[in-house]
Structure 1
Amino acid sequence: MNKKVLLFGFFMMISAAFYAQRERVENLPTFDKRKLHYGFYLGLNQNDFKLNLRNSSIDNADISTTAAAGFNVGLIADFRLHKNLSLRLEPGLVSNSKNIYFNHLVTKQDSLREIGSTYLHVPVIFKFSTDRYKNIRPYLLGGVSYNYNFSSNEANQDDNSSGQFRMKTHNFMYEVGMGIDIYLYYFKFSPSIRGIFAFNNEIKYDDDPNSQWTAPINFMGTRGVFLTFAFE
């Protein structure tokens, strides 16, 4: 799925940029002179977990994950710091699902945990843009984000022994990406691709320190790909 998302995003950016470059008229000539402007975005995502295991009382621990595609939607506030640099706040909602397989366990009830997650995603992003060429302007993105996991179940008293997989509610990520601003007649269209990587360990450990589900896990953090279409 990651390769398909990346190829689709790359194709969309190149196609749109080629179309905009053919335009002889420069659209929205004063757009970038604004100190502050707003917009919104829609997109697709695929989030997975980076897993690091540790030595534990569980022999031959074997844990793997798979992810499905999700969606993201949000708002944009862009504050121009310099002609080639802006600071962006992009609060939104992110929804996706993941499966965690505990392959060292026998029964399906014990070996599979399905995790559906909805996040309040609040990135603070620096956007580094090139000079504009006709109706296109490539850029790079970099920043950090706060994620509130509505589906974490961190406060739930039940754990994996009762079939409940728990995660932390408050999480922090860093983000890097690239995209192209395309100046159309009425608005600016900006497709981009970015990677999302967790700083902190997101797992909520079971009460039993020798839990066959959580004892082998040293670190479990989100990593994902976002394909975003912004309208400003």
Structure 2
Amino acid sequence: MRKCIGAFVIFLFTALGSSAQDNWGGGVDDEVLHFGFTFQYVNSEFKVLKTPEWRTPFSTLYPQLQHDPSETILYDTLYSVSSSGSPGFGLGFVSNLRLGNNADLRFTPTLVFADRLAYYEYRYTGQVLEKKVQSSVIDLPLGIKIKSDRRKNFRAYLLAGAKYSMDIISKKKLDDENNIFSEKLLKNRKNYLSYEAGIGFDLYFEYFKLSPEIKFSQSFNDVLKHDVTPFASPVDKLYLRNIQFSLYFE
């Protein structure tokens, strides 16, 4: 996927470099308000902050609960809790308000489908359990775009802002009431706020403008839903991080 993205970007720059004149770009830079759409590739992971007693077996932390002896992880000591990047994709719209020659206000509502992964490694049994957090999220980012002056068919920019996210995954997929402890789900909060920053390029073609962009975001607060489970109990705070590659067509 990364090689395809890199090859595509190189192709775009080559195509623009071969143009002998300035392209019109659909005239979007002359409009006070214009619209577009976006395709996104998203890589999501957690930043995990553990509790002081995170290694303590779940059965020791909660002796008042009934534990099945066959669920060995309840009696084992944790060796590590970690997360790794997981791919996803998004589709959305662009609303761009021109603030000046070198600044825009952008609102880019997007529907993102991305799983998040957490791993629990146990010391004595050697088990490694993967917990997948499925999500279908509506992102509502609002940001300021600071642009360089245009050079022929090219312009660079920086972007900074914040986004409000709402997970719209069905409650049925999150129902684990009848699951045994070792099969409980790791759950996230439905709504959270993140900060984000990125860099991108405006590439001008004759009838439209294309903007490849790379952006980093992280939730301001803990996104973990703190249930009494073997997977939520060792975690003090869980922050969500995204690295996002977007193509904007305007």
TM-score under structure 1 length normalisation? 0.85
Q: Distance in 2 between the 1:107 and 1:22 partners? A: 57
Please say if 1:66 is aligned against 2:93: no
Greater CA drift, 192-201 or 153-162: 153-162
Structure 1 180/8 Cα, relative in aligned 2: closer, same or farther at 3 Å?
Answer: farther
Partner residue in 2 for 1:194: 215
Partner residue in 1 for 2:32: 35
1:20 counterpart SS class: helix
Show CA shifts across 1:36-62 (max 9, x none): 000000121110111111202643532
Q: Distance in 1 between the 2:180 and 2:90 partners? A: 29
Task: Indicate if the aligned counterparts of 1:45 and 1:225 stay in contact, CA closer than 8 A.
Answer: yes
1:204 to 215, 218, 225: 225
Partner residue in 2 for 1:79: 97
Show CA shifts across 1:130-182 (max 9, x none): 00000111111111001101238598583883623221000111111111111
Any runs of at least 4 consecutive aligned residues in structure 1 with deviations exceeding 6 A, and if so which? Answer: none
2:43 to 33, 41, 46: 46
Please say if 1:168 is aligned against 2:189: yes
Q: Distance in 1 between the 2:100 and 2:180 partners? A: 51
Task: Indicate if the aligned counterparts of 2:91 and 2:111 stay in contact, CA closer than 8 A.
Answer: yes
Q: Distance in 2 between the 1:132 and 1:15 partners? A: 20
Show CA shifts across 1:11-46 (max 9, x none): 544542343133122111743121000000012111
Task: Indicate if the aligned counterparts of 1:21 and 1:136 stay in contact, CA closer than 8 A.
Answer: no
Task: Indicate if the aligned counterparts of 1:126 and 1:143 stay in contact, CA closer than 8 A.
Answer: yes
Structure 1 85/94 Cα, relative in aligned 2: closer, same or farther at 3 Å?
Answer: same
Show CA shifts across 1:93-145 (max 9, x none): 0111122222128596x933222211001100111110000011111111100
1:19 counterpart SS class: helix
- Give the 5 Å matches for 1:83-94: 83-94=101-112
Letter in 1 for 2:39: L
Please say if 1:25 is aligned against 2:46: no
Please say if 1:222 is aligned against 2:235: no
Q: Distance in 2 between the 1:79 and 1:119 partners? A: 24
TM-score under structure 2 length normalisation? 0.80
For structure 1, which runs of at least 5 residues remain unmatched after alignment?
none
Alignment RMSD (CA, Å): 2.6
Q: Give % identity.
A: 25
Structure 1 190/51 Cα, relative in aligned 2: closer, same or farther at 3 Å?
Answer: same
Partner residue in 2 for 1:143: 161
Structure 1 98/31 Cα, relative in aligned 2: closer, same or farther at 3 Å?
Answer: closer
